[in-house]
Structure 1
């Protein structure tokens, strides 16, 4: 059902006489009367020539409705006064009668028993009936039968009646209507699609709107002729002639000295033009010349100009040239002079104090000043999170600070007298496990942070999964930091520390960590006890310094790692962990850990899987500029000669001479953490994660690598298996890369790549 908005107007709005000149009698203004007096004789003269009789009223109505247009008025009056010929409507052919009409006609017929049939029985002897008893037989007319069509449907009968009425109305001849001035003028307002001699269809009442103003008459009023301008009176000049002294000052010194006076046009050799805008401007001349040259060129030249090769290249930056250094030899010479370096990833359940502990470590080692901590504390207090001031050292994003949760890997550097450390603070929330895998794959060791007051929640949450993932990516050394011992009841309770340590060590041993590569350190990140400084002997944590080193001391103990010269000489392999803008002079920079090889400023590298090449413009390691870097470093590379859309996290920067292959099918040997079937999975290789699926379960193996069963239907949790994976997209992978398989937010397997195929 359509709904129409009912707009109510006031009487004043509909029939307002404001601004209208209808003061004269009859609705005509003085201007209208003048137009009638001027144009009526013209129309009458043309009608008299055509022999069309009209009245003055009809002429005035035509001029009024056609807005003083003489031509249209004459044509209308001619057509309205001339009888139409040859337009009589042909009689419509009679249509065959329908069944409804035939049934109606039968109903109107005379019944079969009439008075005439009664006369047949006169004089007929009746058997055993005396003559005196035979009387006049008058038949009674029976009741006419009711018309019942199609089962007596009243609706169909009604339709037949309406159709009969329509046929009767169409059969009647049309009555000619009287043609007068009013009816003829009414035809002007009828739409063109309305047919004559057709019963009008009732229309909805139109909405009321404000009265439309009349148009201005066709002959516009003549503007008054302006009066001629009076000649201006010539006033006498009141200036006096210059004095002799004034003439001497105004005269040129060149004329007095007898020298020739030179103008700028004499120097330039151009003549003075009285009208400087006579000719075309210089811009118009250049445009006309370009148009003429373009017109002279053929279609082939235009097509050639549209080709990409013909477009002029953008001015490129100065080419960065390589110094051609023997990086392997230089690294081997400086190896004994340089301090040891190590990168460790901080893992553990969410809200166990990882970021706060790292902020305390940076503050106590001097990497962050107390002034910065005070500023963070003031900002955190305004948000009602004063205890998060130390965590803000690592959580630099606005979203991380507002939510109090680490989202991406936070990277920071600090140094001691013996080691240069790189902190990789991984997120603890289960939604950001892929980021944790990427951070763990760049580290040399791990720091597992455990809340002494919430160990059970951590074991049910991400503490267990982070331990499994750290072992899956190849980390062997792990430091367990039992945090928040200052908030236990009682504070620094040694029994609580021992119970927590025993449970964590049990899980680590089951996962595959050896006892000599695991250390447990009691500490408190918020207060700073036993982080970088040992607790005071008078405090409740005095027993800690007697049995355990500080967290920093344990990190220095686990830090040294060996980098062989053979690894440095291998082809370059660096997985991109982050793509960012390094500064005004370095608009495109990447960061990541070098798996093998070396690179120096000026080298040309290839980015896989895009296959684009780039040039190394600059190198930074731990915030310091260098000419070269080698494997196991986490440098920042500033690139040129490449577009940002060709760089993504997870891509591999490799040597142009020996680039890594892009593959879509791999064979891997994995440890099942859950049941495995041919199914869809997400494959994680460091910062790279790509969707795919397990296409085949090749075999199951024992701990020694011997085959137990070929083509198993299912691989149960805890079993070792060889599987084939099909990736949705081609990615850069090599033999020996560590992979993690996840599905539906949980880790189901981890292992190494055994073989690849394109």
Structure 2
């Protein structure tokens, strides 16, 4: 088959169907998702609130279109809509200025524009009757002024009949002509002119025949004869030179009726019309004959409300206030104020006195401790053994973890997996983020904060230390491991927890079973560690050493049965030492402060939930909160403590808050929730008393506060401080602060961070901690 025949026999429909852009192509617009609708709704409310009075100048559709265009960027949307509202205000102001002008030039131009209209001074007997527009006052003529078209007999007869009818009703005559100007009927033009009110004389301007006239086109007649000229001109005209062929035309005398009742109601009270009536002619400028205020009486709604109030008062109920038609301005204002609704729905609150309720409640002591130490010191394994021996974790779970660990060739990590739940943590065998768990003894409820020991995850360790009341320092007693740890994260972690405000520390000397429970090794580790902790400003009475074995469980919950060990140690176990810790004083009387540790979806009824430690103050269901640094307000729907709903919470507790009336984009981990009455302020610069871990000078640093870390720079070194008195050492300002010295420095931040006096901060540079201290 030839090629042209093959092309000729092609079925185009089938070929187009096979094309991907054929039937399968759909150019319909994709429907907006529910999430986008929710963003648009929340964004619309926020934009209207930020626009304020300018929100009346833009429509809701324009707001949503702008939000969609700017990808829900509230600031850009508000700036764009403010520009739109400003332009519209300028247009309205321009209209108001030009709509009520005065002056001869404006009057003349308006009269020229509307001089051919007949809606002027409609007679009383013809009110509410619309008069058809007159013919244009100006038409092009090819001949001289004397040659005017002659009226037909039928037109003359119709005009005569109309004249007689008007004389019978009102005693006046109105001349109506659509095609002929300056028409005189029966020589009574003077009588017609006398009946026109003087204030409605329009100013006449000469127009040439070549100028196009407004209105209907002129229709020439074949049998045109000059009309009878009027003996009296309505206004003097200047003489034109004989050489000029185009002659000005006379403006016809037009009868103008009084405005109708509807026109009087709508336009008679307009200041613009009454003030300029003597300057130029406008539609419906006649003063109304009926001066009664149509709005003076009660409205239909007032009548209904008054009837309902009367009926309810007869029954003894309380109804709306009575209205007798004499509403005053203050009454109307009070009514409008009563109708205002709070756009922000609030959760119900029982208005409890939380501190008194806390004193009445019979609860155990609560304490949070962070587990710190060098990498591979056995921190997670020790805490897993503690939870297993206290029956917090059942045997079935441990067996499953052990089976999974053996498949990966890490059978000894089964206990560590109780806290290390992440896939990456289990595959690498190291803790990455803060792992949290809880247990209780006969006296105290404890929350474990297992911190990572690797140097790459020191920021996560700082986040755990910021929530702890005291610390458990785990040391590997194996040969060589203690020495390497003391030069590594053991030393850094101890310095960090002390600078974060931790005063009590328990040193757990782990893995003593690997060295046959050697007392000499334990004493050596105790002496070196104690000397270091004392130099880090820990008090001797707050330092305790506990020998143990995390893998075997000796001296963790139960006492060891090893004869070698029991021969030289008779002290408490690790849990007993934890239980002997004194209760920590809580900042119950201080303003509310809570740092967000996690943000998640709490369920269908709680789409936005946050968890964290309540640092200071107290709260209850229904309280309003202020999230910083975003500055957004929200409300507490409910509170969970230990996965159980509670009506209130106090400082020191790890709680979960289910929030309402705030978008998740305004919250992030590390933000601080406070009371709107005493909010925490955002800072871009602060002065702090810093203990130097390394050489400190004006330099770029990363500022860490809990889970927040923001780039910044040390702007200025104010001076060094005396460690004993805390006073500023007099002398020259230092250029460099050496390790171990305390200095007052000024730090600038690249972003706003919620900070206040007394908060703890850490300064790090290129993965190394250079200092930590307290904000002044």
Distance verdict in 2 for CA 1:716–1:320, change over 3 Å: same
Quick one: which of 348, 357, 360 aligns to 1:321? 348
Partner in structure 1 of residue 215 of structure 2 = none
Quick one: which of 541, 545, 551 aligns to 2:565? 541
Residues 583-662 of structure 1: matches in 2 within 5 Å?
Answer: 583-662=603-682
Residues 301-700 of structure 1: matches in 2 within 5 Å?
Answer: 304-308=59-63, 319-334=346-361, 337-453=362-478, 454-488=481-515, 491-536=516-561, 539-543=563-567, 546-563=569-586, 567-700=587-720
Looking at structure 1, the residues matched to 477 and 7 of structure 2 have their Cα atoms a distance apart, in angstroms, of 98
Looking at structure 2, the residues matched to 216 and 707 of structure 1 have their Cα atoms a distance apart, in angstroms, of 99
Looking at structure 2, the residues matched to 333 and 216 of structure 1 have their Cα atoms a distance apart, in angstroms, of 96
1:728 aligns with 2:728: no
Looking at structure 2, the residues matched to 218 and 692 of structure 1 have their Cα atoms a distance apart, in angstroms, of 75
Distance verdict in 2 for CA 1:305–1:473, change over 3 Å: closer
Residues 169-184 of structure 1: matches in 2 within 5 Å?
Answer: none
Partner in structure 1 of residue 268 of structure 2 = none
Shift of 1:317: 11
Question: Contact 1:388/1:404 (CA < 8 Å) preserved in 2?
Answer: yes
Q: Which runs of 4+ in 1 moved over 3 A?
A: 215-220, 300-303, 307-312, 316-319
Partner in structure 2 of residue 210 of structure 1 = none
Distance verdict in 2 for CA 1:323–1:215, change over 3 Å: same
Unmatched segments (≥5 aa) in structure 1: 1-18, 21-212, 221-299
Number of residue equivalences? 453
Looking at structure 1, the residues matched to 705 and 7 of structure 2 have their Cα atoms a distance apart, in angstroms, of 85
What is the DSSP-based 3-state SS (H/G/I as helix, E as strand, rest coil) of the residue aligned with 1:214?
helix
What is the DSSP-based 3-state SS (H/G/I as helix, E as strand, rest coil) of the residue aligned with 2:59?
helix
1:738 aligns with 2:760: yes
Quick one: which of 695, 712, 717 aligns to 2:734? 712
Looking at structure 2, the residues matched to 446 and 399 of structure 1 have their Cα atoms a distance apart, in angstroms, of 26
What is the DSSP-based 3-state SS (H/G/I as helix, E as strand, rest coil) of the residue aligned with 2:388?
helix
Q: Deviations over 1:526-584 (max 9, x none)?
A: 11000001112x5433236x432100000111252123xxx323221011112223334
Looking at structure 2, the residues matched to 452 and 594 of structure 1 have their Cα atoms a distance apart, in angstroms, of 36
What is the DSSP-based 3-state SS (H/G/I as helix, E as strand, rest coil) of the residue aligned with 1:355?
helix
Question: Contact 1:345/1:447 (CA < 8 Å) preserved in 2?
Answer: yes
Partner in structure 2 of residue 214 of structure 1 = 4
Looking at structure 2, the residues matched to 605 and 306 of structure 1 have their Cα atoms a distance apart, in angstroms, of 31
Shift of 1:602: 1.4
Looking at structure 1, the residues matched to 775 and 743 of structure 2 have their Cα atoms a distance apart, in angstroms, of 12
Distance verdict in 2 for CA 1:604–1:341, change over 3 Å: same
Distance verdict in 2 for CA 1:311–1:600, change over 3 Å: farther
Question: Contact 1:577/1:590 (CA < 8 Å) preserved in 2?
Answer: yes
Give the structure with higher Rg (CA).
1
Residues 21-420 of structure 1: matches in 2 within 5 Å?
Answer: 213-214=3-4, 304-308=59-63, 319-334=346-361, 337-420=362-445
Using structure 1 for the length normalisation, give the TM-score: 0.57
What is the DSSP-based 3-state SS (H/G/I as helix, E as strand, rest coil) of the residue aligned with 1:467?
helix
Distance verdict in 2 for CA 1:687–1:710, change over 3 Å: farther
Distance verdict in 2 for CA 1:307–1:323, change over 3 Å: farther
What is the DSSP-based 3-state SS (H/G/I as helix, E as strand, rest coil) of the residue aligned with 2:527?
helix
Q: Which moved more, 1:468-477 or 1:456-465?
A: 456-465
Shift of 1:659: 1.1
What is the DSSP-based 3-state SS (H/G/I as helix, E as strand, rest coil) of the residue aligned with 1:547?
coil
Shift of 1:217: 10
Using structure 2 for the length normalisation, give the TM-score: 0.56
Looking at structure 1, the residues matched to 582 and 508 of structure 2 have their Cα atoms a distance apart, in angstroms, of 16
Q: CA RMSD in A?
A: 2.5
Distance verdict in 2 for CA 1:307–1:560, change over 3 Å: same
Distance verdict in 2 for CA 1:510–1:581, change over 3 Å: same
Q: Deviations over 1:589-639 (max 9, x none)?
A: 212221211111111111000111222122122333211101111211122
Question: Contact 1:342/1:421 (CA < 8 Å) preserved in 2?
Answer: yes
Distance verdict in 2 for CA 1:309–1:329, change over 3 Å: farther
Shift of 1:710: 4.2
Looking at structure 1, the residues matched to 627 and 620 of structure 2 have their Cα atoms a distance apart, in angstroms, of 16
Shift of 1:332: 2.3
Partner in structure 1 of residue 336 of structure 2 = none
Looking at structure 2, the residues matched to 722 and 366 of structure 1 have their Cα atoms a distance apart, in angstroms, of 49
Looking at structure 2, the residues matched to 670 and 378 of structure 1 have their Cα atoms a distance apart, in angstroms, of 48
Looking at structure 1, the residues matched to 600 and 429 of structure 2 have their Cα atoms a distance apart, in angstroms, of 24
Distance verdict in 2 for CA 1:632–1:305, change over 3 Å: closer
Looking at structure 2, the residues matched to 317 and 720 of structure 1 have their Cα atoms a distance apart, in angstroms, of 49
Q: Which moved more, 1:471-480 or 1:644-653?
A: 644-653
Q: Deviations over 1:131-165 (max 9, x none)?
A: xxxxxxxxxxxxxxxxxxxxxxxxxxxxxxxxxxx
Looking at structure 2, the residues matched to 717 and 367 of structure 1 have their Cα atoms a distance apart, in angstroms, of 43
Question: Contact 1:604/1:615 (CA < 8 Å) preserved in 2?
Answer: yes
Shift of 1:586: 2.8
